[in-house]
Chain A
């Protein structure tokens, strides 16, 4: 067997190190497995919590916005409309908050063992994806119960919406994870930031109901609007607004590049700072 040769030098050039990430794929698996396993230990309802939370929110919003202050959601029934937005939003927000906190939470491991640091926030995001998949099944059932089955375009649009949510979450999550190691302030800013983003995303209202087009496109910079736009497309007959999708894709990709570069640039010193 060829022995691996490791060359240790002061950090200089930037590399994304995906090859190394692949070598450590088993550790990746174990971290994700640990987090999923630990998450619902000592809970009576266990994984059901992944369903109850979005369903509860759906009931509240349905009560508020389909009966009390009706919102025009076109040909989509409000419960389906809001749940489709909520599960995407939950995927994004729990990915960001888990990833953002992950480096600090695992500080004791970071200080003792070497492995590609990217594994930690990424596996934190996979835990959120696991919860999403459970909620997603309930969402599909609800679609059929309320007689609003998604069209066949879902094969394309659902994965597109999910990938867009994950990419945006990865960019923001990585940036916050790295910043959190140095400045613990971001821990406290994060819940507030997520709340602002929630209202700036078309979860409970359709973005098309925003009258001024300038404001609408300004909101589209929030990549979650594009993600939800894509995810909801198979539920109605109207095709997604491609301008919103394009703006969202641009901001999501730039966020990912910034997050990834900043994380890579600072990761060498995590052990000294954590």
Chain B
């Protein structure tokens, strides 16, 4: 039997534009006028969102795609679902493709729930007869029978999601592409949907390609995984071995270093000073982060540096920033040094990483965005609550006081 999905040397290159993704004619004209007079070819930066992807997926296989933000996971799904064309390579898809890049695509607030099932179903590739056949099952699954003939704008957001999921869960293509969509909505209903999809895929031998940040959902739903990093494939193997490789890579580099690019401002180093050795930070202890930024010239006013701290589910927890307009930074040519200090880091135990942004506010240029500096927070020398420090109960622990009144 031929593979359901065959991917050969697939790549996608994006041109970087400094302004909005769509263009004003005025800019095109003024840019070309400038180019005539300056007779200088405009340097266009481009980057590969995806490169050298080779993959062969057998019918009935359930494959997860994991990686950090910006690793190219969604781009890959977008190419396979034909939303955007690849720059290089090719892919052969054997079977009807259903893609779920967002639930409720095409929902219209003025139409009733029933009407939206038809509209959404047909956008997702169902035939009218198939929707009619499944209509009762979809309505039943969603649990919004009472309001099915009410315009969607009167639904709560939760009800809209349930309706959207129900349509999605009843899709029956041979190949199903799912992107993150299961990360929203209430937990119980999510589980119901995952269960339904798993059941369908096992029973009918459906091929599933699943992108998620939620590693536990990936583990339940898939048997194999592809790990992407910066658009390149790193590992394609059984889910458990790929996930452990991913976790391993996430905790490898406590210090980030890079070569200076002479034309644009660059972050050349990010280093995190944790309270303990081995990238371990004690809860409530001080932590500092050192930044080294290389400036190509003096003339930059309005630089902005910010960072977010993400948890292992890629959810941002903390955000801090500094603007040149408030606190002069990065005005000298060459290396500029900055330090940020938390006096008492309030993060709860778990693993975290930094996402650092370097930008300029005046022309709204974003120069860099990097993920780096993984560290683990432990509850060291703290009085343990009676039930112990359980994993994942919260992200941040703040002080306060209890009193009876």
Contact = CB atoms under 8 A, between A and B. Distances in A.
Nearest to B93: A6
Nearest to A12: B85
B148 interface: no
B24 interface: yes
B202 interface: no
Interface string A101-127: 000000011111111000000000000
Interface stretch (A164-172, A195-203, A264-272): A264-272
20 contacts: A3-B96, A6-B92, A8-B85, A9-B85, A10-B85, A30-B118, A34-B108, A37-B110, A109-B105, A109-B106, A111-B83, A112-B102, A183-B22, A183-B25, A185-B24, A185-B25, A268-B84, A269-B85, A271-B84, A272-B84
Interface string B67-89: 00000000000111111111111
Nearest to B86: A10
Given A9-B86, A183-B28, A38 B110 contact: yes
Contacts of A274: 21-22
B24 A184 contact: yes
A8 B92 contact: yes
B143 to A, nearest CB: 25
Interface residues of B, number: 46
Nearest to B79: A8
Given A113-B99, A181-B22, A184-B22, A5 B93 contact: yes
Interface in A127-162: none
Interface in A1-47: 3-11, 26-27, 29-30, 34, 37-38, 41-42
5 A-B pairs closest in CB distance: A114-B82, A8-B91, A6-B93, A185-B25, A30-B122
B26 interface: yes
Interface residues of A, number: 37
Contacts of A30: 118-119, 122-123, 128
Contacts of B25: 183, 185
With a 10 A CB-CB cut-off, give which of B14, B83, B87, B91 has the most chain A CB atoms: B83
Contact of A26 (B28, B97, B111, B128): B128
Contacts of B115: 37
Instruction: Indicate the member of A4, A26, A111 with the most B CB atoms within 10 Å.
Output: A26
Given A8-B85, A114-B99, A26 B90 contact: no
Contacts, number: 113
A8 B93 contact: yes
A5 B94 CA distance: 4
B82 A38 contact: no
B128 A112 contact: no
Q: Which of B85, B90, B105 has the most CB of A within 10 A?
A: B85
B101 interface: yes
A113 B24 contact: no
A182 interface: yes
Interface of A: 3-11, 26-27, 29-30, 34, 37-38, 41-42, 108-115, 181-185, 268-269, 271-274
Given A108-B105, A113-B123, A183-B28, A34 B99 contact: no
Given A10-B85, A113-B123, A114-B99, A182 B93 contact: no
Contacts of B329: none
B174 interface: yes
Nearest to A179: B25
Q: Which of A5, A8, A29, A269 has the most CB of B within 10 A?
A: A8
Nearest to A37: B111
B228 interface: no
B359 interface: no
A83 to B, nearest CB: 31
Nearest to A272: B84
A7 B93 CA distance: 6
A4 B96 contact: yes
Contacts of A108: 105-106
Interface in B36-63: none
B23 interface: yes
Nearest to A189: B25
- Among B25, B99, B122, which residue has the most Cβ atoms of chain A within 10 A? B122
A268 B94 CA distance: 21
B110 A113 contact: no
A34 B122 CA distance: 12
A7 B22 contact: no
A35 B115 CA distance: 12
B90 A109 contact: no
A181 to B, nearest CB: 7
B176 interface: no
B22 A113 contact: no
A112 B21 CA distance: 17
B196 interface: no
A115 B23 CA distance: 25
B195 interface: no
B95 interface: yes
B339 interface: no
A108 B123 CA distance: 12
Interface in B89-142: 89-97, 99, 101-102, 105-106, 108, 110-111, 115, 118-119, 122-124, 127-128
A70 B151 CA distance: 50
B62 to A, nearest CB: 18
A176 B177 CA distance: 32
Contacts of A109: 105-106, 123
Contacts of B84: 268-269, 271-272
B122 A271 contact: no
B105 A113 contact: yes
B105 A4 contact: no
B108 A38 contact: yes
Interface in B277-292: none
Nearest to B123: A113
A183 B22 CA distance: 6
Nearest to A181: B22
A114 B81 contact: yes
Contacts of B122: 26-27, 30
Contact of B26 (A110, A185, A268, A271): A185
Contacts of B102: 112
